[in-house]
Amino acid sequence: MAPEFDWDAVNRYHLGRNHVIPEEAQHAIRDPYAILLAIESESGEDRTKAVGKTASGRVLAVVFAIRDAAIRPITAYVASPHLQSLYLRPRRI
């Protein structure tokens, strides 16, 4: 069973500021080829940045945390050229 996503007005707002909808963030996180990067937050909470592709083909960076066994997206945005090149780089699978 796939983990649930934790959405509320706050994280939807943060995504919306960057013209990303929740479904796109979910696709990017669940992308089987997504790159997952551990990041440090000022709050001390463990956070991850997923760089993945949406169903429409956009490469997004989605910052999220795991809270109470649910994935809580914090923000998302179109990946920078550097992150896109990391995502698109050929990988051995």
Q: In whole angstroms, give the CA distance from residue 83 to residue 58.
A: 12
Contact (Cβ atoms closer than 8 angstroms) between residue 71 and residue 5: yes
What single-letter DSSP state applies at residue 80?
P
What's the pLDDT tens digit per position in 66-75? 999 899 999 9
18 pLDDT more than 70: yes
* Matching residue, tokens 């956009």: 58
The Cα diameter of the chain in Å comes to 39
Reported as a pLDDT band with limits 50, 70 and 90, residue 40 is confident
The answer to whether residues 61 and 39 touch, using CB atoms and an 8 Å cutoff, is: no
**Per-domain residue ranges of the chain:** 9-88
Other beta carbons less than 10 A from residue 7's beta carbon:
16
**Model pTM score:** 0.90
The pLDDT of residue 77 is 97
